[in-house]
Amino acid sequence: MSIYTEKVLEHFKNPRNQGKIKDYDSFGEKGNPVCGDVMHIYIKVENDKIVDIGWETMGCAAAIATTSMLSELAKGKSLDEAMKLTKQDVSDELEGLPPVKMHCSNLAAEALHEAIKKYREKNKKKKTK
Ligand code: FES
């Protein structure tokens, strides 16, 4: 019997928005020092909204499923809304993750938040030039 919900397995088998997108405006990277897994998230932003998102995850089934779900949750959201997405939101949408795998879901939200912070940083510099 699997420790994962059907929804986790479904996202693991059919990941959404997987891969690096062309012409991305920013990206975030997070690594898990415990297991060594790494995740990259790429975002394309228009009018402060995430209009496209892509990702690469070198990690476990939970890491892949959580990035896939996060990408669906973040697409179309404003940067402010996307900054509020948490690992709990991702886990809830996946109908739960086994406690031993909760740390894997950190990566997706943190990588997205880093991508947004970098984007804002870059834009602030442009505006002040
Ligand atoms: Fe590394 Fe899940 S075991 S992210």
Q: Which CATH number goes with the domain that contains 89?
A: 3.90.1010.10
The structure's pTM equals: 0.92
Let me know if residue 128 belongs to a domain: no
pLDDT tens-digit map of 51-86 = 999 999 999 999 999 999 999 999 999 999 999 999
Ligand 1 nearest atom to the CA of residue 37, by list position: 1
Confirm whether 104 is a catalytic residue.
yes
Radius of gyration of the chain (CA): 14
Domain for residue 70, yes or no? yes
Please, which residues have CB within 8 angstroms of residue 84's CB and are 6 or more apart in sequence?
none
Q: Is residue 23 part of a domain?
A: yes
Does any domain span residue 1? no
Asked, for residue 126, whether it belongs to a domain, the answer is no
- Of 6, 13, 20, 35, which residue is the catalytic one? 35
Q: Which structure tokens are listed for 42? A: 């790429």
The answer to whether position 127 is within a domain reads no
Count of structural domains within the chain: 1
27-46 pLDDT per residue, tens:
999 998 888 899 999 999 99
Domain enclosing residue 72, as ranges? 6-119
